[in-house]
Structure 1
Amino acid sequence: MSVTPLVIVALIAIIAGAVIGIIVRKKILENKLDSAEDYSRKLILEASKQAETIRKEAQLQAKDKLYQMKLDFEDATKSRTKELQNQERRLFQKEGTLEKRIEQLEQREGLIAKEEAALANRDNVLKKKEGEFDSLIEEERQKLERIAGISVTEAKEMLVSSMESEARHEASKLIKKIEAETREISNRKAQEILALAIKRYAGDYVAEGSVSVVNLPNDEMKGRIIGREGRNIRALEAATGIDLIIDDTPEAVVLSGFNPIRREVAKVALERLIEDGRIHPARIEEIVERVSREIEVNIKEAGEQATFDIGLHGIHPELIKLIGRLKYRSSYAQNVLEHSMEVAFLCGIMASELKLDEKQAKRIGLLHDIGKAVDHEVEGAHA
């Protein structure tokens, strides 16, 4: 009997504890549910607030964008409107100009129509008068034929024959007069041109011969030039091709030869030998060879200087050398290079007066005696 109450009490206690636990657990669950609902409500409230904020910001942005688009549209509309107004104004101006031109053209057409009508009337009047004149001419022609007893064709032939004879006579007289005047003018013009050319160019004239003279410091030098048994003079003549004439002329030696270049070589070589004092065959050959080379250089320089003085360019180098050789040539006691330059200048002056090619005329004048620069070994005339 003692155990049963305890069991009952224990069972009651267990049941009471279970009931209390269930009640406590339920209360805890209810509290948790209340907290979750509060948290959910807070989240929903915050989400609503954020959504409202975003919505308001979007509305503001949309309003700003719409306002900006409205401003842009208004600006574009104003610009386009202004452009259209300008185009419209220009079109109105063009339209006004076209209307004025059309009006002017219409006025011109009216004037042209009036002028055409006037011209047509004049043409009719002229045709009428022409017919009247033709009738009068025909009447007068018939009267003249009756009076003269000849036809119009015969009268024309007689008139043409008479006029032809008279014209030929007058033409013959005129031609003779023109020929005489032309001849007189040509002669006078030629004299004027020659006088002008001679007046504008006055060259020096120096006569040249076929001998050269070398002055000696004393007569004893003649013996040194001759050398032992005449070997020096023979060597000099053989090297230069020039004859040395040593006579009673005091303190002088005469060089004779028709080749002026060789004569110049001999003259310069002998002067240097006298100045040097060493006169023997080997030295003579050395000096003559050196002087010959120098003379060739001088010939080229003389040709170049002559063409430069005259104003000619582009001449072949071989021709330059031949022109330079003319410096040592003479013709009729006159230096050929100086003569050729004189002719070149005169030809240039006359060509200028006659309106011809001045440079071509100078070239012809300079080269007209170029054949005289060629040695005698070459056949043919100098021209």
Structure 2
Amino acid sequence: MFQSLIQSFFKKERQEEIKKAKQEAKELLLKASEEALRAKQEAERAGRKAIQDGIELEKRLARKEQILEDREKEIQNKEQGMRDKEAHVAEKKEEYENEKDKIISKLEKIAQMTKDEARKFLLTAWEDKLKGDVAKQIREGEEQIKSSATEKAKEILIDAMRYGATDYVSEYTLAVIQLPNDDFKGRIIGKDGRNIRAFELATGVDVDLEEEGVIRISSFDAIRREVAKISLEKLIKDGRIQPQRIEEIVNKVKTEVAQTILKAGEDLTHRVGIFNLPNEIVRLLGQFKFRYSYGQNMILHTLEETKIGVALAHELKADVNTVKIGCLLHDIGKVITDKEGSHVDLGVELLNKHRFPKKIVDTVAAHHEDIPFPSIEAVIVYISDAVSGGRPGARHEDFQEYLKRITTIEEAAKKQKGVKEVYALQAGRELRVIVRPNEVSDDEATILASKIKEELETKFEVFPGQIKVTILREYRAEAVAKFN
């Protein structure tokens, strides 16, 4: 019985599941039918829309085709009109050329000249008419260019001078040393003056002990003066003042000053941006520290000139390095004291010895116009030197001292036998001596020049440059022919 109940329960459950499955199948079929209907309706709507769009597109294409046809007809009409006009213009042009030829023929007959001759005649007439105006415009243009060039040159020079200006330092020939007390004067003089003689002999200076409380050291050679000043200061500080000690101190100071000179030369070359120069050149440049030219210290003059030269070289597109080295070395001959000759010749000889490029040597050779300017760099070095030395305040010289120097130079020649007239020229750098030909022969004139040279060398221990002595001897023979 229990088993039959179970079978009955499962049978009912299967029937319900079958019934439920049939119901779900009906719902699925119904849903599928609805979706199929909707898809069909949408497809029909899309088909109708596509047909409508196709119809509209055909209409638009038809309208565009009609527009294109109308435009094509319009273009064809215009082209035909242009061809008609071209034909008309060609016809008129032909008529114009025919009439032109007829008129030219008539004009040639009337003027009795061909077309080319008439053209030449007209051009000549216009050239004559315009010649004055053209020449006037050319002159005005040249004047304007010259004026502009002058103003530009002034601006360049002013800028270069402002760029290169340095402080002014006066020249001096005395060094003054303050003494702790006057007892040192006796010790410096020494027994029978042996100490002071030994000091002056070792240093080559003059020592003045007359003023109370100070010692004045005098020398035109600034290096000797510096050595003497430092040596005397060391001797006073040391207290052992005797000939042997004096010689020892002076020799030591000379070595120190030599090192100072070398350092000054290196500093000068580095400040202008030049390196790797020969040691001899650097040492000579260092002597500029103690060398003056009419009150202008040569280191300051060289720095100033180099700055001006570099500024001008940049403005004028010249070789800056050549100008820089030329400005640095242009006065190096002034510190060469063991040879005779002008500082220009001595400088050129030194640079050739060290195989400097010819372009640099030429700037030194031409900076006093001893030779024609070989390059624009030489002109720039010359101008820079003139600007630095010639600007207000750069150099000075006492008029009385100048007059005394000129008088001394002339007197050295006037006292010689047979001298008629003497002229000191170029601030005393040239001495022209006119002799009496009946008192001085040609051979004696040569000897006289040598005597005057030696006399001048004894009168001037130091001189800015050199003195060229020229003897002029002119002999004239006259005869008068008389006729009855």
Q: TM tier, shorter chain?
A: 0.5 to 0.7
Distance 1:132 1:308, change over 3 A: farther
State the one-letter code of the partner of 2:315. Answer: E
Most deviating of 335-344 and 314-323:
314-323
State the one-letter code of the partner of 2:249. Answer: I
Distance 1:304 1:144, change over 3 A: same
- Show CA shifts across 1:46-101 (max 9, x none): xxxxxxxxxxxxxxxxxxxxxxxxxxxxxxxxxxxxxxxxxxxxxxxxxxxxxxxx
Runs of 4+ in 1 over 4 A off after TM superposition: 125-137
Instruction: Name the residue aligned to 2:319.
Output: 357
State the one-letter code of the partner of 1:156. Answer: R
Larger gyration radius, structure 1 or structure 2: 1
Question: What is the Cα-based RMSD across aligned positions, in Å?
Answer: 2.7
For residue 340 of structure 1, report the CA deviation from its aligned partner.
0.9
Structure 2: how far apart are the matches of 1:129 and 1:278?
A: 125
State the one-letter code of the partner of 1:169. Answer: G
Structure 2: how far apart are the matches of 1:309 and 1:129?
A: 85
Structure 2: how far apart are the matches of 1:128 and 1:279?
A: 126
Instruction: Name the residue aligned to 1:299.
Output: 261
Instruction: Name the residue aligned to 2:140.
Output: 177
Instruction: Name the residue aligned to 2:339.
Output: 378
1:148-187 → structure 2 map (5 Å cutoff) = 148-166=111-129, 168-187=131-150
Structure 1: 5+ residue stretches without partners: 1-124
Structure 2: how far apart are the matches of 1:231 and 1:129?
A: 126
State the one-letter code of the partner of 2:342. Answer: A
For residue 152 of structure 1, report the CA deviation from its aligned partner.
2.5
Structure 2: how far apart are the matches of 1:136 and 1:256?
A: 107
Instruction: Name the residue aligned to 2:213.
Output: 251
CA contact (8 A) 2:164 2:305 kept: no
State the number of aligned residues. 259
Q: What is the DSSP-based 3-state SS (H/G/I as helix, E as strand, rest coil) of the residue aligned with 1:250?
A: coil
Percent sequence identity is 41
For residue 345 of structure 1, report the CA deviation from its aligned partner.
0.9
Instruction: Name the residue aligned to 1:312.
Output: 274
Distance 1:353 1:242, change over 3 A: same
- Show CA shifts across 1:176-222 (max 9, x none): 22221122112211221222223334411110212211221111111
- Show CA shifts across 1:290-346 (max 9, x none): 111111111111111111111122323222111111110011111111111111111
Most deviating of 262-271 and 150-159:
150-159
Per the normalisation by structure 2, the TM-score is 0.49
For residue 281 of structure 1, report the CA deviation from its aligned partner.
0.9
Q: What is the DSSP-based 3-state SS (H/G/I as helix, E as strand, rest coil) of the residue aligned with 2:343?
A: coil
Match of 1:277 among 234, 239, 242: 239
Residue 195 of structure 2 is aligned to residue 232 of structure 1: yes
Structure 2: how far apart are the matches of 1:218 and 1:302?
A: 34
Per the normalisation by structure 1, the TM-score is 0.62
Say which structure is richer in helix: 1
Distance 1:237 1:137, change over 3 A: farther
Structure 2: 5+ residue stretches without partners: 1-86, 345-484
Distance 1:186 1:229, change over 3 A: same
Structure 2: how far apart are the matches of 1:171 and 1:229?
A: 92
Structure 1: how far apart are the matches of 2:129 and 2:263?
A: 69
1:10-49 → structure 2 map (5 Å cutoff) = none
Instruction: Name the residue aligned to 2:204.
Output: 241
Residue 306 of structure 2 is aligned to residue 347 of structure 1: no
Instruction: Name the residue aligned to 2:298.
Output: 336
Structure 1: how far apart are the matches of 2:91 and 2:254?
A: 103
Q: What is the DSSP-based 3-state SS (H/G/I as helix, E as strand, rest coil) of the residue aligned with 2:144?
A: helix
Most deviating of 272-281 and 201-210:
201-210
Residue 231 of structure 2 is aligned to residue 266 of structure 1: no
Structure 2: how far apart are the matches of 1:339 and 1:230?
A: 41
Distance 1:140 1:188, change over 3 A: same
- Show CA shifts across 1:201-252 (max 9, x none): 44111102122112211111111111111111111111111111111x2221
Q: What is the DSSP-based 3-state SS (H/G/I as helix, E as strand, rest coil) of the residue aligned with 2:207?
A: strand
State the one-letter code of the partner of 1:239. Answer: A
